[in-house]
Amino acid sequence: MTSSVAAELVDLLRLERLEDNLFRGQSRDIGTKYVFGGQVLGQALSAAQQTLDPNRQVHSIHAYFLRAGDVEHPIVYDVDRSRDGNSFSVRRVTAIQHGKPIFVFASSFQEPEPGNEHQLSMPEVPRPEDIEPVAAPTPEQLAQLPPKAQRWLSRMGPFEIRPVYPRDELKPPKRPPFQQVWFKLNGEVGDSPVLHQALLAYASDFHLLGTATFPHGISYYQPNVQMASLDHAMWFHRPFRADDWLLYSIDSPSAQGARGLSRGQIYTRDGRLVASTAQEGLIRVLPDAPEAR
Residue 292 falls within a domain, yes or no? no
Residue 186 lies in a domain: yes
Task: Give per-residue pLDDT as tens, 45-66.
Answer: 999 999 999 899 999 999 999 9
Q: Concatenate the DSSP letters of all residues of 207-222 into one string.
A: STGGGGGGGGT--TTS
Contact between 211 and 179 (Cβ < 8 Å) = yes
Task: Tell me whether residue 12 is in a domain.
Answer: yes
CATH number at residue 184: 2.40.160.210
Contact 217, 172 (CB under 8 A): yes
Measure the CA–CA gap between 92 and 209, rounded to whole angstroms.
24
Q: Contact at 8 Å (CB) between 226 and 287?
A: no
Does 246 have pLDDT greater than 80?
Answer: yes
Nearest to 58 by CA among 16, 91, 18: 91
User: What is the residue type of 270?
Assistant: D
C-alpha radius of gyration, the chain, whole number = 19
Mean pLDDT of the chain, nearest integer: 92
Decide if 122 is inside a domain: no
SS3 281: strand
Distance in angstroms (rounded) separating the CA atoms of residues 82 and 24: 20
CA distance 224 to 136: 23
Q: Is residue 36 part of a domain?
A: yes
The number of distinct structural domains making up the chain is 1
**pTM (whole model) above 0.95:** no
- The torsion region of residue 27 among left (phi > 0), alpha (psi -120 to 50) and beta comes to beta
Taking the alpha carbons of 282, 157, 248, 193 in that order, is the dihedral positive or negative?
negative
Nearest to 202 by CA among 44, 31, 17: 44
Burial class, 226, CB count within 10 angstroms (exposed 0-12 / middle 13-18 / buried 19+): middle
* Span 67-94, pLDDT tens digits: 999 999 999 999 999 999 999 999 999 9
Q: Cα separation of 204 and 276, whole Å?
A: 9
Q: Is residue 156 part of a domain?
A: yes
Q: Which residues are catalytic?
A: 205, 229, 279
Does 16 reside within a domain?
Answer: yes
pLDDT digits (tens, 9 = 90+) for 183-228: 999 999 999 999 999 999 999 999 999 999 999 999 988 889 999 9
Could you tell me if residue 121 is inside a domain? no
